[in-house]
Structure 1
Amino acid sequence: MPDGPVGASERSAFSRQLSELKRDGSNLLVVGQRSSEGHSGVCRHLLGDDCAGRHRVVAFTQGESVCGYAPDDLDADGREIVRYDADDGSGADDDLSALGADVVDAVDALEARAEGFEPGELRLCFDSLGPLFVDHEPERLFRLLHVVTSRIRQVDGMGHFHLRVDRDSDHVNLLEPLFDAVVEVRDAEAGAEQRWHLRDGDVSTDWLQL
C-alpha cells in the first residue's frame, strides 16, 4: 500500500470503491488504540442521520451505548439494540453463538418491517470487539464475524466494527480478511483523523481530518 499521499488515479480508485461499497454492501473494521474522538466521529458518520428509510442495528459488548450514539438518540422505529451479556450463566461458546444469532435476528426484524432494504439503508455498529477477544478464542470470534458480516452483505447494508488496538495488531491481522476496509483513526493537533485501507485494489489514503 502506498505510504504517502494518494495521487489522482488512487483518489479516483478510492472514490469509485467507496461508491461500490455503499451500493453492494460492506463491512469496515475501525481501529486505533488511543482516539475515542476518532472512533466516535467515524461511528456517527457511518451510522448516518435519521433520514427516511435509514435502519440501524446497534450492538454493544460493554456499557449502555455505542461510541457514536446512545440508543435513545436514534429513531426507535428504525433501530434494533443487541446487548452482549457474558455473565448470564451460560457457557462462553453459548454466549458467542447467542450474540451472533441476536444480531442476525435484529437485521431480519428490521428487514421484515421495512419490507426489504435499498442499498445502504441498513447500518450496523458493533462496539466493540475487544471484550470478545478476552472472553473467547480468536478462531470462534472469526467464525461469529463471518456469519454477521455475510448477513450484512446479503442486504446490501453497511456494518462497522470497533476494535481499539493498533493497525499492526495480531487481532487486526486475523480479522482483516473478513472486511472490505480497515479504517484507522488517531488524534492530531487539529482534531481526530482517519486513514482508509481498502482491500480491493490495495489502496490506502493519506490521513484525512474527520
Structure 2
Amino acid sequence: MFSRKDWGDGSDEERFSGELARLKRQGASILVVGAVQRAHRRAICRRLFGQATTQPRRRLFVSTTGDCRRTSTLFDEATASDHHAFISYEAHSRSAGAAAGNVETDVELDAGSKPESNPNPYSIGADDSSTDPQSDPLSATEVTSLAELGIAISNAIETFETESNGLAPAELRIGIESLAPLLEAYGAERVFKFVHLTNGRTRDIDGMIHYHLPMKRDTDVVSVLTPLFDIVIELREHNDTAQQRWTINDGTCSSGWLPIEQS
C-alpha cells in the first residue's frame, strides 16, 4: 500500500507516517487535485483543517467563489479554543485557457466534479446553507484582486500570531477553496508567485496550508505548480468509490489509493 525507495529500516507505513508528522511539525503546503463529489472534497478539507483533533486550531478559510456562506460543515466541531477567520475573493475571470508565460491554464474540470445543485463548480461548501443561521460568517474580509488577497492572508496570519502570543506547530490551518478562479483571472505565472509567497509566510510560523484545484494531476498547470508543495493529494472516483492518494517529496513517498472515508 505504501511505497518509497531507499527508506532504510522500518516499515513503509511507519516511515510514511513519520514523514507526515515531520511536515506537520515544521509546516507544510498541500495541493489537492482531481475530481470527486463535494461531500468527499469537504471530508478532505475537514481533515486538513484539523477537525478530528482536540488540539486548539486557528483556521483561515479563503473562498475564491466570493461566497463564504456554505462553509458551516467544515467547522461544526469547533471548540471554545478554536478561532476562525474568513476571506472572500470575488473573481474577475478572463477566458479559460489564457495564462501568463508559456504555460496554458486549462481550467476544464475533471469529469464528475461539477455539482448538480451548486451553481459554482469550484465551491466545496454544502449544497444548501439557507436553513443554517451559523453558516454566514460575519467577519469575512472581502477582496477583489490577487494582491489584496495576499495582503489579507498575511494580515490574518499576523492577527492570529498576536492573539495567540505565538502559534504552536500546525495550530494554524489555511484552506484555499480553489485555485481555478485565480488561474482564470491572472494566469499561471502570477498564481505561481502568489502561492510561493503565501506558502513561505505559512511555513514561517509552522502552519499548514492547502489549496484545491479540480484538475487532473498530469495537466500542464498542475505540473508547473507541483514543485511548490510538500504534499500532493489526488482524488478520484473509481468503481463507485471516492479515493485519495497522498504523495510526498516529489513522488518518492506515496500512500497508494485509499478510500476517502478512511481519512
Normalised by the size of structure 2, how large is the TM-score? 0.69
Q: Residue in 2 aligned with 1:6?
A: 2
Is the 2:91–2:182 Cα contact (8 Å) retained in structure 1?
no
CA distance in 1: counterparts of 2:69 and 2:234, whole angstroms: 18
- Runs of 4+ in structure 1 off by over 3 angstroms are 65-77, 188-191
**What is the number of equivalent residue pairs in this alignment?**
200
Q: Residue in 1 aligned with 2:192?
A: 142
Map residues 171-210 of structure 1 onto 2, 5 A cutoff: 171-189=221-239, 191-199=241-249, 202-210=252-260
CA distance in 2: counterparts of 1:168 and 1:143, whole angstroms: 21
Map residues 69-80 of structure 1 onto 2, 5 A cutoff: 69=72, 73=76, 78-80=83-85
Is the 2:182–2:191 Cα contact (8 Å) retained in structure 1?
yes
Q: Residue in 2 aligned with 1:124?
A: 174
Is the 1:60–1:66 Cα contact (8 Å) retained in structure 2?
no
CA distance in 2: counterparts of 1:13 and 1:75, whole angstroms: 32
**What is the root-mean-square deviation of aligned Cα atoms in Å?**
2.5
Q: Residue in 1 aligned with 2:68?
A: 65
Distance change in 2, residues 1:153/1:102 (3 Å): same
Tell me by how many angstroms 1:41 deviates. Answer: 1.1
Is 1:85 matched up with 2:90?
yes
Percent pairwise identity? 36
One of 5, 15, 18 as aligned partner of 1:16 = 18
Map residues 22-171 of structure 1 onto 2, 5 A cutoff: 22-49=24-51, 51-65=54-68, 69=72, 73=76, 78-86=83-91, 95-171=145-221
Tell me by how many angstroms 1:203 deviates. Answer: 1.1
Gaps of 5+ in 1: 88-93
CA distance in 2: counterparts of 1:24 and 1:140, whole angstroms: 26
CA distance in 2: counterparts of 1:160 and 1:127, whole angstroms: 9
Is the 2:196–2:228 Cα contact (8 Å) retained in structure 1?
yes
**Alignment partner of 1:135: what SS?**
helix
Is the 2:2–2:16 Cα contact (8 Å) retained in structure 1?
no
CA distance in 2: counterparts of 1:66 and 1:128, whole angstroms: 16
CA distance in 2: counterparts of 1:19 and 1:66, whole angstroms: 32
Q: Which one has the bigger helix percentage?
A: 1
Distance change in 2, residues 1:75/1:139 (3 Å): farther
Normalised by the size of structure 1, how large is the TM-score? 0.85
CA distance in 1: counterparts of 2:16 and 2:211, whole angstroms: 20
Tell me by how many angstroms 1:104 deviates. Answer: 1.0
Cα deviation 1:80-104 (Å, max 9, x = unaligned): 11111235xxxxxx81111111111
Is the 2:25–2:170 Cα contact (8 Å) retained in structure 1?
yes
**Alignment partner of 2:174: what SS?**
strand
Structure with bigger gyration radius: 2
